[in-house]
Structure 1
Amino acid sequence: MSSFAITSSSVSSDVIPRAIKRLFHQASIGDQSYRFMFKREPADEVVAIDCETTGLNLRTDDIISIGAVRIRGDHILTSERFERVARPDADMRTDAIKIHRLRQIDVEQEAPIRNLLPDFLRFVGGRPLVGYYVDFDIAMLDKYILPFIGIELPNPRIEISSLYYERKYGDAPPNISIDLSFSAILADLEIPSLAQHDAFNDALMTAMMYVVLRDKAKRGVRIPRENNQAVFDPTGG
Structure 2
Amino acid sequence: MFASFFAKRNAQNLKDEQYRFLFEEAPVDEVVVFDTETTGLSPKKDEILSIGAVKIRGNKILMSEKFELFIKPSREINEKSIKIHQIRNVDLENGIDPHKAIVQFLHFIGSRPLVGYYLEFDIKMMNTYVKPWLGINLPNPQIEVSGLYHDKKIKFIPDGVIDLRFDVMMNDLGLPIFGKHDALNDAMMTAMMYIKLRNIEKV
The runs of at least 4 consecutive aligned structure 1 residues that moved more than 3 Å come to: 16-19
SS of 1:170's partner is helix
| Contact kept in structure 1, 2:153 and 2:162, CA below 8 Å | no
Size of the alignment, in residue pairs?
A: 203
Q: How big is the shift at 1:50?
A: 0.2
Q: How big is the shift at 1:197?
A: 3.0
| Contact kept in structure 1, 2:14 and 2:136, CA below 8 Å | yes
Q: Tell me the distance in 2 between the aligned counterparts of 1:163 and 1:200.
A: 21
Cα distance, 1:46–1:52 mapped onto 2, change above 3 Å: same
| Contact kept in structure 2, 1:54 and 1:91, CA below 8 Å | no
Q: How big is the shift at 1:88?
A: 1.4
Q: Tell me how large the CA RMSD over aligned residues is.
A: 1.4
2:65 is aligned to 80
What are the Cα deviations for residues 108-130 of structure 1, in whole angstroms up to 9, with x where unaligned?
A: 33122212111110110000000
Percent of aligned pairs with the same residue? Answer: 45
SS of 1:109's partner is coil
96, 104, 115: which is aligned to 1:119? Answer: 104
| Contact kept in structure 2, 1:132 and 1:161, CA below 8 Å | yes
1:182 is aligned to 166
Tell whether 2:84 aligns with 1:99.
Answer: yes
Question: If the length of structure 2 is used for normalisation, what is the TM-score?
Answer: 0.95
Q: Tell me the distance in 1 between the aligned counterparts of 2:72 and 2:78.
A: 14
Unaligned runs of 5+ in 1: 1-15, 224-237
1:29 is aligned to 14
What are the Cα deviations for residues 121-180 of structure 1, in whole angstroms up to 9, with x where unaligned?
A: 01100000000000000000000011121111000000000000011123432x343200
Unaligned runs of 5+ in 2: none
Q: Tell me the distance in 2 between the aligned counterparts of 1:42 and 1:22.
A: 19
Q: How big is the shift at 1:22?
A: 1.7
